Amino acid sequence: MANLLSLVQNETLKVWKKKRFAVIVLVLLVLIPIFVYAQLKISQNNAAKFADWRSVVQQRITDNMNAIASDRIPEEWKKWRRSLVQQLQYYLDRDVNPDTPNAVTFTATFLENSVTMFIPLMVLAIASDLVSSERASGTIKMLLTRPVRRWKILTSKLIALTLYVSLIIPTAALLSYLIAGLAFGYEGWGAPVFVGFRVNGTAIETSSVHAITQGAYLLMEMGLVWFSAMTVAAISFMVSVLLQSAAASLVTMMAAVISGAILANMASSWSSAKYLFNVNLNLTSYLQGTPPPIEGMSLGFSLVVLAVWGAVSLTTAFAVFTKRDVLN
């Protein structure tokens, strides 16, 4: 009859004391400076070459148009480039710099680039052995022989997982902001970003495009990253319940996440791949207005696919966990 809050406290402290979150912070602290340095080099290079940002954007447009003109580039990449060109042109026409190098834009870009791989991997660091480690170490026998219903124990683990996922994303954003700020300055929250580009066939529809501040954009982006991270967490949670070994569940989930990233690049002709969860993880691309990897995908579609995968996973996890005999 122990209350759920105490159980959540238990699970949260266990993950914390296992130093999982510390590892994530450490990885971020090592990787972000590398990305910041790379970005710094790019902007220094641009500053040396181009008089102002308009020339940089114009050159980007030209380069992409040349790619579009080339026969060697696959049609789906051209589509992506076409929409990029139109967006850049939209920014140029309104005299708004789409990639001012500052800590806020760096953070937004960092999140965009990590939504399909990096964030899921960090989520896996916590989720993949949440249940299987208890089984592997045998502590599950202690855990399940206390006067608490099994569904409550699993719920507490799920809540703890949700809390950690919710912590990871702002932590990644905060660290990225702080570190990038050293190189680019901490300004830029109020700069405008255009959202609402709709991909419509080969053209980009700009009727509902409107400007929001970088700060708002970053918050929305974090919300979307959070949703796809939660889906990965839920599926990983189920795998962790189903599989005995922590290593096996980690490998399974990593394979799923990585294959999703690969599929998203080449699955445009296999249209039923859009029902796979790992192809739908890149929710921030809808915010940016880049074309989805497969025809027919939209924000609503991806959200539904992810939600269904998450719900099925959790249902399976609960059904199995509450009924299964603990045999070893």
Partner 1 sequence: MAEDSKTESEFDPLPRPPGRASSKLWPILGFTMLGCAILMLAGFVWSLKDAWFPSHGMAVPEPSASARPPQGDWAAKQELKAIALGDSLTRGMGDRTGDGYVRDSIVKLNESLGKKVRLLGNLAINGLTATRLNQQLEQPSYASSVMQADLILFTIGGNDLFRIAQSGGSIAQGGDVSPERLKAKLPEAKPRLEATFSKLRRINPYARIVYVGLFNPFYDVPEARGISETIAEWNAYAQKLAALDGNATVIPTYDLFESNAARYLSSDHFHPNEMGYGRIAERIDQALN
Partner 2 sequence: MPEYPHAPNDVILSVQHVRKVISGKPIIRDVTFDVRAGEVFGFLGPNGSGKTTTIRMLVDLIKPTDGKILVCGEDVNRRPERALRYVGCIVENPEMYPFFTGWENLEHFARMQPDIPFERIEEVTRIVHLDKRIHDKVKTYSLGMRQRLGIAQALLGKPRLLILDEPTNGLDPKGIKELRAFIRELADQGMSLFISSHLLSEIQLMCDRVAIIARGEVIATGPVEELVKQAGSYTVWQFDKPEDGRSLLEGSPEVALVRENEHRIDEAYLNGLPGAIVALMDQRTIPEWIKRFAGEGIGVQAVHKVAPSLEELFLKLTEGESVG
The answer to whether residue 286 forms part of the interface with partner 1 (CB under 8 A) is yes
Selection from partner 2, partner 1, none that 50 binds (CB < 5 to 8 A by kind) is partner 1
Q: How far is the CB of 84 from partner 1 (least distance, A)?
A: 15
Sole binder of partner 1 in the list 3, 4, 9, 269 (CB under 8 A): 9
Cβ atoms within 10 Å, residue 134: 21
Q: Does 196 bind partner 1 (CB under 8 A)?
A: yes
Which residue in this structure is represented by tokens 């959200």? 303
* Cβ distance to partner 1 smaller for residue 37 or 77: 77
* Chain-centroid distance, C-alpha 154: 25
Distance CA 194, CA 1 (A): 52
Report which of 257, 273, 264 is spatially closest to residue 77, judged by C-alpha positions.
264
Helix (H) or strand (E) holding 42: helix 20-49
219 vs 247 by CB, closer to partner 2: 247
CB of 152 to partner 1, least distance (A): 18
95: left (phi over 0), alpha (psi -120 to 50) or beta: left
155 CB burial (10 A radius; 0-12, 13-18, 19+): middle
Distance of CA 271 to the CA centre of its chain: 22
Output 16 or 270, the one with its CB closest to partner 1: 16
Stretch that binds partner 1, among 138-146, 157-165, 268-276, 316-324 (CB under 8 A): 157-165
Binding residues vs partner 1 (CB under 8 A): 8-9, 12-13, 16, 49-52, 54-55, 57-59, 62, 65-66, 69-71, 89, 92-96, 162-164, 166-167, 169-170, 192, 195-196, 208, 210-213, 216, 219-224, 226-227, 286-287, 299-300, 303
